[in-house]
Every structure is written in C-alpha cells, then in structure tokens.
C-alpha cells in the first residue's frame, strides 16, 4: 500500500489507516478473537498505520490493538493515540460504559489537558499498548479547552517530541473551526503541529474542511481524514433510505446526493464505497484516510477499496455534483 509523509517528520502513513474505535466495542461488543483477527487482516491487506485512544472502550481498544501488534516488528508500523482523557477508577460503576461503548465501566474518563495530564496519559497508553513509544500523539476533542490545549497540551507534547519520545504532535477533532484556530495561530519557538485528524468533514458529501485542508497544505501540516463513509451512508454500493449521515437519520436531500455519487461510480465501473475511500486522498494535505474496522471482512474490503484510484472521468463527473455541505 502506498504511503505518505507526515509533515516534516520521518513518519509515513499508509493511505488507509485502521480506526480502532470499533475494537473498543463501539455501539456493540466485539470478541477479543475478532478484534485480533481484524488487525491481522488489516496487516495482510497492507495497512501499517493504526489509530486508537483511551476513550475507545475506556482502554479496551488500546489493549487489544497493542496485543495484536506484538506479532509485528515495531519499526514496521505507525501508531497514534490521544491525550486529554485520563482513565481513573470509577467510584460508582453501573456495569456498562454510558459513552457509546459496550464495555464495563470499572474506570471512568476524566478530562485533563494540563501538561502533567498529557504526560500521564501517554505513560498510561504505553502501558495499555505494551509499547515503548507512541509515534503520533493527538490532543483529543479539546473543544471546550482550546486555550489550555494550545498553551499546555501542545507544548508538553512538543517537549516529548524534542526528546524523541514521540514522533509527531497533533490534534484529533470533529469540527473545522477549532482545528483551523489551532492550525493558524502563532506558537513559540519549538512548538508546532505536525498533523491533524478531522472526522467526517472531508468526504464526498461533506466538504466543509476544504479551507482547513488548504491552510494545512500552506503550512506543511498533514491531515488524517477520518470517517470517509459519514457514519455508514457511503459504505454501501446503493445508499439505503434507512442509512445514517453524521449520526443522524438521512434526509431526502442527502440521500439524493449520495445516490448521484453511487450512479456515477457505477457508470465508471466502480462503486460508491470505492469513491468514498479515495476521495479524501485527492487533497495534497491528506496523508491517510482513517476508517473504523471491526472485523477481518471489513479490513479486507477497505484495503481493496483504497488500492486503485478512480479514473479521471469519474472524478470529473463527481466534481459536477454539489456536495450537501461545503
């Protein structure tokens, strides 16, 4: 699988990355065996970039991913995790996590974007992953803590980068405006952003991140474009009426637009999911497309989708369709 460099670092990401939220039991449980098999299938398909976070299954995704990756040489893959949520013992467990993951709530998330919290978070993640280092550290969803993230989290990560403890510094968020705020602000000497992860905002249907990606390209900052299927609507050759778009039931307008993209893909000998996975890579700032994977079958399918690009005439026809957003 082709690779793209992260900013000015020595790191390279495969064009498709393994999103680790599903193996943290996002929405429904996945067995340990299936999670490990999904990682192996992704590896067999050529994926060498894997993303996770303490938030995903309150540590379960990190533990499973770390166990699966023990089989492979450490220098042969890149892993990213996130900071901003510490996991601490839950004083009042109810039995199940209430934040979308089907896992016991014996620990609870505590937001902490302080410099000390960032360092503690990475130490804890290394233990759960069973790895001596983490390649990319992303400040996770600091929407309500922008100043602290800019003044404490990012400088603390840059200190670790200078010491060689991590390879790249960035942010992972769902919304364009706060990411643009981080990307365009001035930082002291030695403090800089290498990469950002933006979810669901640079897709066939939602192109609201265009100005963000352009700003990143101007500054040499790489982009990881997550959620290319917009929570599932673009994952089927024919988008279903019962599908979801950005976690909401699909509207008539969104469905019609998705159906237009599906028709164009068919007319050019392809399918909608193929176009959805390849679309983000058309922007020069994008280093990798990150898709959540929960099974060996999903891993194999997604690896096949990213292997070859659509032809120029297909993209020309797609570009004539007005996206729903952006």
The residues assigned a catalytic role are: 56
Which residues have a Cβ under 8 Å from the Cβ of 97 and sit 6 or more positions away?
57, 58, 103, 104, 105
Distance of CA 193 to the CA centre of its chain: 16
The answer to whether 152 touches 118, Cβ cutoff 8 Å, is yes
Name every residue whose Cβ is closer than 8 Å to that of residue 220 and which is 6 or more positions away in sequence: 7, 8
Q: DSSP code of 234?
A: G
- Give the separation between CA 183 and CA 155, rounded to whole angstroms: 14
User: What is the four-CA torsion angle of 75, 78, 84, 86, rounded to 10 degrees?
Assistant: -50
> Are the C-beta atoms of residues 53 and 92 closer than 8 Å to each other?
no
Closest alpha carbon to 276 in 243, 218, 315: 315
Asked if residue 154 lies in contact with residue 119, where contact means CB atoms within 8 angstroms, the answer is no
């Amino acid at each position: 699988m082709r690779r793209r460099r992260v900013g000015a670092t020595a790191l390279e990401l495969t064009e498709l990355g393994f999103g680790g939220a599903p193996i943290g039991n996002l929405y429904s449980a996945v067995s340990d065996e299936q999670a490990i098999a999904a990682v192996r299938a992704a590896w067999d398909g050529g994926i060498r970039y894997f993303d996770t976070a303490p938030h995903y299954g309150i540590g379960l995704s990190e533990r499973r991913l770390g166990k699966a990756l023990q089989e492979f040489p450490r220098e042969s893959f890149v892993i990213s995790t996130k900071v901003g949520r510490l996991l601490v013992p839950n004083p009042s467990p109810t039995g199940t996590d209430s934040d979308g993951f089907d896992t016991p709530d014996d620990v609870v998330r505590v937001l902490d974007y302080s410099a000390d919290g960032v360092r503690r978070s990475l130490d804890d993640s290394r233990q759960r992953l069973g790895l001596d280092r983490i390649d990319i550290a992303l400040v996770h969803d600091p929407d309500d803590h922008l100043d602290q993230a800019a003044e404490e989290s990012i400088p603390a990560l840059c200190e670790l980068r200078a010491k060689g403890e991590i390879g790249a510094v960035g942010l992972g968020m769902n919304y364009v405006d706060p990411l643009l705020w981080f990307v365009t602000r001035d930082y002291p000497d030695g403090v800089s952003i290498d990469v950002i992860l933006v979810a669901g905002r640079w897709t066939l249907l939602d192109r609201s991140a265009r100005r963000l990606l352009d700003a990143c390209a101007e500054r040499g900052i790489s982009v990881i474009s997550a959620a290319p299927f917009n929570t599932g609507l673009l994952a089927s050759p024919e988008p279903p009426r019962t599908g979801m778009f950005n976690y909401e039931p699909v509207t008539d307008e969104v469905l019609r637009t998705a159906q237009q993209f599906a028709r164009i893909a068919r007319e050019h000998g392809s399918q909608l999911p193929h176009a959805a996975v390849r679309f983000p890579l058309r922007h020069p700032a994008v280093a990798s497309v990150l898709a959540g994977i929960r099974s060996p079958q999903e891993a194999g399918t997604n690896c096949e989708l990213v292997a070859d690009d659509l032809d120029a005439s297909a993209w020309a026809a797609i570009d004539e369709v007005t996206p729903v957003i952006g």
